[in-house]
Structure 1
């Protein structure tokens, strides 16, 4: 027959007490950190899931930041295009006035002067920057998209932002397409109107070119609006995904506070009771052993 000795009873009891004490210490550590999985040994499967969720969260958070950056680019472009559209509307009004054959030369010179100011303001708008980069200049490293004479000095590249695993959106605007280049640019058109007015010629023949410039800018405004809506939708999707991932990670990683507190209290009571009962049953051997 298997004989249970006082020594074996003491060893078993001591092991059980140590296990109970270890569980109490684990619960205390979880309560202090707020995490039930603080290291891989706590739950290898849980730790693996947490690492995967953290990676997905990092990617999703980056998509959100990219979307916010892209929206800022498009907002800058939209504002500049809106102001350019207003400037062209005024330029058209002045061109119509300058087309009157009964207008005096002094009147033509006054209109020409205002048109020069509009032309210069359009160059400034075409060189609108976001964080030091021209939003109409493509990927150029230079500070402007258009030279003072209205010539395009951008590189025609596109600035894109990845706002989803399979989604990239262009966030700049093709300056050459928006404002034109060479003899067909809005700047060359206004220069021609000013030259005719100062030479005493009516400006009416240039209305078609001004309208064409206005249509180009209007088309770009529609395109910017469409891209803004797309980024907004993708950002909303990324925000929702981030919330879902945070919730999933929290369920695996974070402790259930009320449950953990209750379990610690029960574990402490059980440990104290077991310690007291063991001391009475195994006196004095167990106490000597514990020392």
Structure 2
């Protein structure tokens, strides 16, 4: 039996077709504006799951890149501080050698003591160097001061500050203050105080012992600087690896959810033309009746 085709059924079918055409046009327009073929998981559950995994990996890569930048800042802060310490220690050693001259008078020794104390204050400032308001030579303790300026007590807990710089790779970014400056009462600052006292007393034996101690401190400081240099090289390698990985992940993600802009633009124009033509055809097909005027 053939059903009767009414004006109402024609209108409903035409409206459904128009809505479908409009939906297809809107979807193509969204792809053009976002540059993505997936707007929601239901578009393609398999590709959506793959895109989610890739986005998680990219987020992890971004976090590692930030950690590398943070690790570099730690290295730079410590390197600048320890380079200054190396310069001051070398200067103090020269002063100690001069102080060992038995012919030096009281005025000369007093001048050397003043310079030793000035160098000690400078080294203490370097030992209390900070990054983002945190003492870098205090281990994992969140404090602004690694060494007390009066007692020379150390806040360093000997723990390692680490940063994840690549998947599964954690790097120590701090130098333990105790390894370079020691701890009271046998800290570098105590040794410099003893040296100043030995110079004041014109005690050649004590000055000689201080020279031995200074050489040891200079060696430990050089070792710390070498460690920082090795970490810089490790960061350079990690940065290169992360950059390559990020490029690969973005290429993969584009393959999964990207769109061919030229092809999509042509399809959008064709769909839009078809939609406009459908509107015109529907307007001619559905003619107003007398009932429409009587309502």
User: Equivalent of 2:214, from 210, 213, 216?
Assistant: 210
CA positional deviation for 1:271: 4.8
Provide the alpha-carbon RMSD of the alignment: 2.8
The structure-2 alpha-carbon separation of the partners of 1:36 and 1:117, relative to structure 1 and needing over 3 Å to count, comes to: same
Residue 83 of structure 1: aligned partner: 84
Residue 49 (structure 1) aligns with: 50
Do the aligned partners of residues 277 and 132 (structure 1) sit closer, same or farther apart at CA in structure 2, a change above 3 Å counting? closer
Quote the residue 1:228 is aligned against: 232
**2: CA distance between counterparts of 1:50 and 1:103?**
78
1:232-289 deviations in whole A, cap 9, x for unaligned? 3212222322232223223333332221111112233445567778999xx6xx768x
Q: Give the number of equivalent residue pairs.
A: 284
- Aligned residue in 2 for 1:172: 174
Contact kept in structure 2, 1:137 and 1:145, CA below 8 Å: yes
User: How do 1:1-291 and structure 2 match up within 5 A?
Assistant: 19-148=20-149, 149-182=151-184, 184-202=186-204, 203-271=207-275
CA distance in 1 between counterparts of 2:139 and 2:100 reads 37
Q: Structure 1, residues 15-54: CA drift from partner, whole Å, max 9, x if none?
A: 7665444322321232233332111122222221221111
Distance 1:99 1:262 in 2: 89
Aligned partners of 1:287 and 1:26: how far apart in 2? 30
TM-score normalized by the length of structure 2 = 0.85
- Whole-angstrom CA distance in 1 between matches of 2:130 and 2:101: 39
CA shift digits 1:181-209 (9 cap, x unpaired)? 34543222211111011112233342111
Unmatched 5+ stretches in structure 2: none
Distance between the aligned counterparts of 1:142 and 1:209, measured in 2? 28
Distance 2:160 2:34 in 1: 47
